[in-house]
């Protein structure tokens, strides 16, 4: 294979030590986040001045710096986002920005950013046809979803146009829901994964029926390890990405070194064995190849197995009032251990102060002043970071070298965005749209809309096809391109005219827009004027915004909008969409969390929809939204599962909250 096509190894870094560990390991690129607009807000992240020094050191060592500004951009955010991009360009000069929100593309241009633009996996570009749209908008790289198998990655690579490349996750945490299609944390309390604030409700204990509570939605980590070899035959896959911006330097160094071995020595059995040994020492969760091998897919949810981050090293024991444990391996000064699970009250992270030998004894400090309740006997203890003497030495050497690259003088940005023009405010009464899976029995009081599937298209009378809206699904998988092209053509032939796309990339299906009306659907996650302008340029005549925004943000967006707006005002908005489902989870059966929240799972095609067992209902805000100029009000209708109790409550989602 030509050295020209050698994929770069991309390392995560959430703090300075991890960045330096990546450089010490020889990573080709490091991706980081700032204090704002980062999809990993729980990481320490960087200031501009810190990052300027690190990026300079990286350039000197041949390591690129990529900055993730991959959160949803709220209506009031574009000005501050643009200023931050301008300061990045002036002080840091990163090689690329990693973005989710469509607004970041025009903002980067306006702010004079000169690097590449990479579409985050949160942008959910999951099907080959959409790659042309990404290139048209100015992206140079697309991060493909973590749920794709090898054959599907090849489909994406074969369809990838000139001057556009692909990046694939090879190692790290898996989310239960598809990136960019998870509203679980947000629906339960305003902490949005699209804004980098996810509280990981999928990692909790859940119970279905009479079974014991288990981690029914908590995924093991992904580790492609020896399966990366076929990717070397795909020149369009130019980057192997390691997930883990909340991990420590030990994890970063070991994973980078391992994947370098696998990339550079694909036919060397000894190198493969050494690489796998390094990954075993990296302190991630238990891992699997997930669904990457199409002929041997593995469900990455094993409810009865440990899925906590770090390596299990012991359990709490009790001697009178004292808590202690006996580690399964030596612990060294500087190692970090986490006592308990992240969702367990009273869990804490402790630093090892002195060496504790294997099967020795370490007391767990606890007093009345310790936050949270005392942890019970049997509580698991995990090793989450190590301080290897050799790695510490390497990092300290780079810290001394870092002093040779002084931080730039801070300069305030005076960037002011050039805002999109407002739409002419439409006249007439608002339209109520009822979204069905199949044609309902009886009369519909409002306009009917249907998910575009063979079953619905075949049962809607030909004369009604033209009066209905046709909604494309929020996720289209690589092997479904042909299916949806065929269904769209058939719908148009039967008189269909109005189509709702639920990702910007689905605009690729409508190259010939003669007599076709495109609407940007709520899963496009449009939340600001710049994103709406991009959707307008892609051919959309209106947009249904996500109900994830707060009421204040929703009304602000309506005041200055390039497109007429709609909103999902009622019905079954999902927690999220997933390609994974544990074998023990029964479809359409109630699943209960420790907080007594009930959800159910329903499968459509290749995708599992997770629904809360209570509806979204913003109907009390109808008059407010009408006065604000909203023209379309959508009700999402699902047949209620017979085994799930009817709810006594509804949700206003984030309407009365501040979306963090």
Interval 609-629: pLDDT, tens: 999 999 999 999 999 999 999
- Sequence length of the chain is 660
| Confidence label for 423 from pLDDT (cuts 50, 70 and 90) | confident
| All residues at 6 or more sequence positions from 482 whose CB lies less than 8 Å from its CB, including other chains | none
Share of the chain above pLDDT 90, in %: 83
Range 374-396 burial, b when 16+ CB lie within 10 A, else e: bbeeebbbbbbbbbbeebbebbe
pLDDT at 382 over 50: yes
Tokens representing 170 are 């090879």
Distance separating alpha carbons of residues 122 and 104, to the nearest angstrom: 13
Give the residue from 420, 502, 508 showing the smallest Cα distance to 134.
Answer: 508
Per-residue pLDDT tens over the stretch 132-171: 999 999 999 999 999 999 999 999 999 999 999 999 999 9
Phi, psi of 307 (to 5 degrees): -130, 20
Residue 367 pLDDT: 66
Instruction: Kindly state the helix (H) or strand (E) to which residue 577 belongs, with its residue range.
Output: strand 576-578
In 3D space, the residue among 387, 384, 327, 386 whose CA is nearest the CA of residue 358 turns out to be 327
Task: State how far the Cα of 38 lies from the Cα of 53, in Å rounded to an integer.
Answer: 19
What burial class does residue 593 get, using C-beta atoms within 10 Å of its C-beta: 0-12 exposed, 13-18 middle, 19+ buried? middle
Containing H/E element for 542?
strand 540-545
Q: What is the mean pLDDT of the chain?
A: 93
Give the per-residue pLDDT at 656.
94
Q: Within a 10 A sphere around the Cβ of 478, how many other Cβ atoms?
A: 21
Tokens of 392: 């510490």
pLDDT at 538 over 90: yes
Higher pLDDT, residue 442 or 642? 642
What distance in Å separates the CA atoms of residue 508 and residue 513, rounded to the nearest whole number? 10
pLDDT band at 583 (very low <50, low <70, confident <90, very high): very high
Per-residue pLDDT, averaged over 395-406, amounts to 94
Can you give the pLDDT at residue 182?
A: 97
Quick check: 257 pLDDT over 60? yes
Residue 351, classed as helix, strand or coil, is strand
- Cβ count within 10 A of residue 370: 13
How confident is the model over 364-371, as a mean pLDDT?
72
Is the pLDDT score of 2 beyond 60? no
| Average pLDDT estimate for 208-230 | 94
* Residues 6+ away with beta carbon under 8 Å from 458: none
Question: What are the tens digits of pLDDT across the range 293-329?
Answer: 999 999 999 998 877 888 899 999 998 888 899 999 9
- Rounded-to-integer distance, Cα 98 and Cα 358, Å: 43
Rounded Cα–Cα distance for residues 49 and 341 (Å): 35
Element (H, E) at 106: helix 104-110
pLDDT of residue 513: 77
The answer to whether the CB of 590 falls within 8 A of the CB of 646 is no
Beta-carbon neighbour count of residue 428 at 10 Å?
A: 6
Task: State the pLDDT at residue 402.
Answer: 94
Q: Which two tokens stand for residue 256?
A: 């980078």
The pair phi, psi for residue 462, each rounded to 5°, is -55, -40
620: DSSP letter: G
The Cα 60–Cα 530 span in angstroms is 36
Which of 497, 489, 498 has the alpha carbon at shortest distance from 542?
Answer: 498
Q: Where are the strands (E) in 354-397, listed by range?
A: 362-364, 380-385
What pLDDT is attached to residue 411? 82
Based on its alpha-carbon atoms, the radius of gyration of the chain, rounded to whole angstroms, reads 25
Q: What are the two backbone dihedrals, phi and then psi, of residue 303, each rounded to the nearest 5 degrees?
A: -55, -25
The C-alpha atoms of residue 19 and residue 295 are separated, in whole angstroms, by 37
pLDDT in tens, 431-476: 999 999 999 988 888 999 999 999 999 999 988 999 999 999 999 9
Q: Is pLDDT above 70 for 3? A: no
pLDDT of residue 387: 84
Place of tokens 């290139």: 135
Tell me if the pTM is above 0.85.
yes
- The 8 Å CB, 24+ separation contacts for 414-418 are 415/79, 415/82, 415/83, 415/85, 415/86, 415/110, 415/111, 416/79, 416/82, 417/78, 417/79, 417/82, 417/107, 417/110, 417/530, 418/110
**Which tokens go with 11?**
């390392």
The CA distances from residue 444 to 290, 467, 635, in Å, are: 43, 12, 12
Residue 1 has pLDDT above 60, yes or no: no
Sheet holding 311-315, edge to edge: 311-315, 380-385, 336-339, 348-351
For 248-307, the three-class secondary structure string (H helix, E strand, C coil) is CHHHHHHHHHHHHHHHHCCCCHHHHHHHHHHHHCCCCCCEECCCCCCCCCCCCCCCCCCC
Closest CA to 116 of 94, 148, 144: 94
Mean pLDDT of 181-208: 93
- In angstroms, the Cα distances linking 303 to 373, 494, 581, 596 are 26, 47, 11, 19
pLDDT of residue 600: 98
- Number of C-alpha atoms within 13 angstroms, CB side, residue 38? 23
């Amino acid at each position: 294979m030509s050295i020209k096509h050698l994929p770069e190894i991309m390392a995560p870094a959430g703090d300075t030590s991890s960045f330096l560990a990546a450089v010490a390991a020889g990573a080709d690129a490091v991706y980081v986040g700032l204090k704002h607009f980062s999809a990993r807000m729980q990481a320490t992240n960087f200031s501009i001045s810190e990052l300027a020094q690190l990026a300079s050191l990286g350039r000197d060592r041949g390591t690129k710096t990529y900055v993730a500004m991959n959160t949803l951009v709220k209506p009031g955010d574009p000005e501050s986002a643009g200023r931050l991009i301008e300061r990045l360009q002036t002080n840091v000069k990163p090689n690329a920005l990693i973005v989710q929100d469509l607004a970041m593309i025009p903002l980067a241009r306006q702010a004079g950013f000169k690097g590449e633009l990479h579409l985050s996996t949160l942008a959910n570009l999951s099907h080959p046809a959409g790659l042309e749209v990404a290139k048209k908008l100015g992206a140079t790289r697309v991060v493909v979803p973590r749920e794709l198998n090898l054959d599907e990655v090849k489909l994406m690579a074969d369809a990838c146009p000139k001057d556009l490349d692909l990046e694939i996750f090879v190692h790290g945490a898996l989310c239960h829901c598809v990136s960019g299609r998870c509203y679980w944390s947000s629906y339960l309390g305003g902490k949005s994964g699209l804004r980098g604030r996810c509280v990981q409700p999928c990692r909790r204990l859940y119970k279905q029926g009479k079974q014991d509570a288990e981690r029914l939605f908590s995924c093991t980590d992904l580790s492609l390890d020896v399966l990366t070899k076929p990717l070397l035959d795909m020149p369009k896959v130019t980057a192997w990405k390691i997930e883990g911006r909340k991990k420590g330097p030990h994890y970063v160094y070991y994973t980078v070194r391992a994947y370098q071995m696998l990339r550079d020595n694909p036919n060397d059995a000894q190198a493969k064995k050494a690489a796998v040994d390094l990954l075993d020492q990296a302190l991630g969760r238990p891992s699997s190849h997930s669904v990457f091998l199409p002929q041997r897919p593995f469900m990455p949810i094993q409810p009865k197995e440990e899925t906590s981050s770090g390596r299990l090293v012991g359990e709490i024991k009790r001697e009178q009032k004292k808590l202690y444990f006996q580690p399964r391996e030596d612990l060294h000064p500087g190692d970090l251990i986490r006592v308990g699970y992240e969702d367990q009250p009273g869990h804490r992270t402790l630093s090892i102060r002195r060496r504790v030998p294997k099967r020795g004894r370490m007391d767990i400090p606890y007093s009345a002043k310790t936050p949270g309740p005392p942890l019970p006997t049997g509580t698991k203890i995990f090793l989450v970071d190590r301080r290897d003497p050799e790695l510490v030495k390497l990092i300290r050497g780079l810290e001394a070298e870092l002093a040779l690259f002084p931080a730039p003088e801070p300069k305030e940005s005076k960037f002011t965005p050039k805002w999109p023009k407002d739409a002419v405010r439409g006249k007439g009464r608002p339209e109520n749209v009822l979204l069905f899976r199949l044609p309902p029995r009886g009369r519909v009081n409002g306009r009917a809309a249907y998910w575009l599937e063979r079953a619905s298209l075949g049962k809607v009378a030909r004369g009604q096809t033209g009066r209905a809206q046709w909604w494309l699904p929020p996720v289209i998988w690589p092997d479904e391109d042909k299916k949806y092209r065929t269904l769209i053509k058939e719908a148009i032939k039967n008189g269909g005219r109005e189509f709702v796309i639920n990702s910007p990339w689905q605009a690729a299906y409508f190259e010939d827009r003669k007599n076709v009306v495109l609407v940007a659907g709520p899963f496009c996650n449009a939340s600001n004027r710049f994103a709406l302008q991009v959707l307008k340029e892609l051919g959309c005549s209106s947009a249904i915004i996500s109900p994830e925004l707060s009421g204040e943000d929703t009304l602000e967006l309506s005041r200055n909008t390039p497109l007429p707006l709609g909103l999902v005002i009622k019905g079954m908005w999902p927690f999220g969409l997933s390609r994974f489902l544990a074998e023990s989870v029964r479809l359409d059966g109630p699943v209960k969390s420790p907080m007594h929240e009930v959800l159910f799972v329903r499968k459509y095609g290749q995708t599992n929809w997770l629904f809360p067992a209570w509806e979204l209902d913003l109907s009390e805000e109808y008059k407010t939204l009408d006065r604000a100029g909203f023209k379309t009000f959508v009700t999402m209708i699902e047949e209620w599962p017979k085994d799930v109790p009817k709810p006594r409550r509804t949700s206003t989602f984030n309407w009365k909250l501040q979306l963090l």
